[in-house]
Amino acid sequence: MTLNNLSDKPVGVIGAGSFGTVIANMLAQNRKVLLYARDPEQVARINKEQTNKGYTLHENVLAINDLAQLANECEVLFPIVPSQHFRAMMKKLAPYLHPYHMLIHGTKGFDITLPPGETIETMKTLDRKMVKTMSEVIKEESVAVRIGCLAGPNLSRELAQRQPAATVIASHFNEVIQTGKKLLKSDRFQVYENNDIVGVEIAGVLKNIIAIASGALSGLGFGDNAKGLLISRGAVEMVYLGRALGGDTKAFLGVAGIGDLVTTCNSPMSRNFTVGYRLAKGEKLDQIVADMQEVAEGINTVRIAKKCADHYKVRALITDRLYKVLFEGLTVEEALEFLMRYPLNMDIDFI
């Protein structure tokens, strides 16, 4: 496939959540788009009403419920499903994929593979062999070779309103990056390039932890000084943990790292920010999760990142305290008090 004949075939999007829907609309400015959803009733409703998740769909978007049709008609696919369903989705999709397919995922989460009989609760620590990024899952489960990821400060509602924004497409293959740019770039949407796909993926995942903490700060009524402190210390923590997991420092300092971190730490539209905010207001985690319409990836990420930090002996104070808030009954106030009292002298020591 060359860039010139891209328009011959529709582009596929897997996952009809908010972000998948908005990406489908952006792609539809120039291409026909097949939007895959698991639920046949949702597919019928989308095609009848031409709306989904509160967004009006472009006339070039057609919802379907058939992965074989999707793979047969599309060479470029954008899988955008929650991380806990990603491997199962890839197992279903894999029989229909060929080496010519190009997959650019937009999922910010980790996949974990545990020893038989173990659960994440019974594991004291996790090493990198058990923790996979979505590009690694695609590689493990399919014959796809040309794999990329989409990451950055991309709040669905702002993208839908065509507010100025940017993203990063990361891949080991320049052809994947250039294809993604050609399909997505517009006068309101800038697309940057990065070859460190794993670093970009890890940055996009870890920032969700700090976003929960930022929401908690806001929920407690603290101001911008406290948030500035949290974001800067959170960025350092992301670098330490990200490097232990195999990412390059540079990936954490760009649009997919700092850019995404600042956005989600300041936006009530962020699901992870909302989780932290509601926790600080005294709601229980089970109650928050039960009435959220879409997954807040950061909750599971905290659990995984804490056990990775323990394994690699990385100091990750924010992650550690947040783990205790989410899963061990520590209050948000107690966590904050600990973080403010902890003695730290060095500001930046990773460059």
Say yes or no to pLDDT of 185 above 50. yes
Lowest model confidence (mean pLDDT) among 3-7, 124-128, 149-153, 234-238: 3-7
Nearest partner of 251 among 195, 208, 210, judged by Cα? 195
Say yes or no to pLDDT of 1 above 60. no
pLDDT in tens, 23-57: 999 999 989 999 999 999 999 999 999 999 999 99
Residue 182 bears catalytic tag: no
Global confidence as pTM: 0.92
For residue 348, what pLDDT is reported?
52
For residue 226, what pLDDT is reported?
86
Looking at the fold, whether 285 and 155 belong to one and the same domain comes out as no
Question: Could you tell me where the DSSP H helices lie in 94-196?
Answer: 134-141, 156-160, 174-184
For residue 344, what pLDDT is reported?
59
Which residue out of 53, 108, 132, 207 is catalytically annotated? 207
Looking at the fold, whether 220 and 320 belong to one and the same domain comes out as yes
pLDDT in tens, 105-136: 999 999 999 999 999 999 999 999 999 999 99
One-letter identity of residue 172: H
Instruction: Extract the tokens encoding 79.
Output: 């899988």
What percent of the chain lies above the pLDDT cut of 70? Answer: 95
Mean pLDDT of the chain: 92
Assess if residue 351 is contained within a domain. no
Looking at the fold, whether 204 and 183 belong to one and the same domain comes out as no
For 221, residues 6+ apart whose C-beta sits below 8 A from its C-beta are none
Residue 23: which domain range? 3-195
The per-residue DSSP string of 208-252 comes to HHHHHHHHHHHHTT--HHHHHHHHHHHHHHHHHHHHHTT--HHHH
Boundary of a domain, candidates 167, 195, 223: 195
Please state, in angstroms and as integers, the Cα–Cα distance from residue 27 to each residue in 3, 18, 49, 110, following that order. Answer: 15, 14, 20, 26
For residue 199, what pLDDT is reported?
94
Looking at the fold, whether 94 and 185 belong to one and the same domain comes out as yes
Looking at the fold, whether 143 and 236 belong to one and the same domain comes out as no
What is the mean pLDDT of the segment spanning 282-304? 91
Looking at the fold, whether 239 and 330 belong to one and the same domain comes out as yes
Q: How confident is the model at residue 6 (pLDDT cuts 50, 70, 90)?
A: low
Assess if residue 349 is contained within a domain. no
d(CA 100, CA 36): 20
Looking at the fold, whether 103 and 182 belong to one and the same domain comes out as yes
d(CA 166, CA 152): 7
Count of domains for the chain? 2
Looking at the fold, whether 236 and 334 belong to one and the same domain comes out as yes
CATH of the domain at 252: 1.10.1040.10
Looking at the fold, whether 175 and 34 belong to one and the same domain comes out as yes
Looking at the fold, whether 106 and 22 belong to one and the same domain comes out as yes
Cα-based angle 202, 206, 210 (whole degrees, multiple of 5) = 160
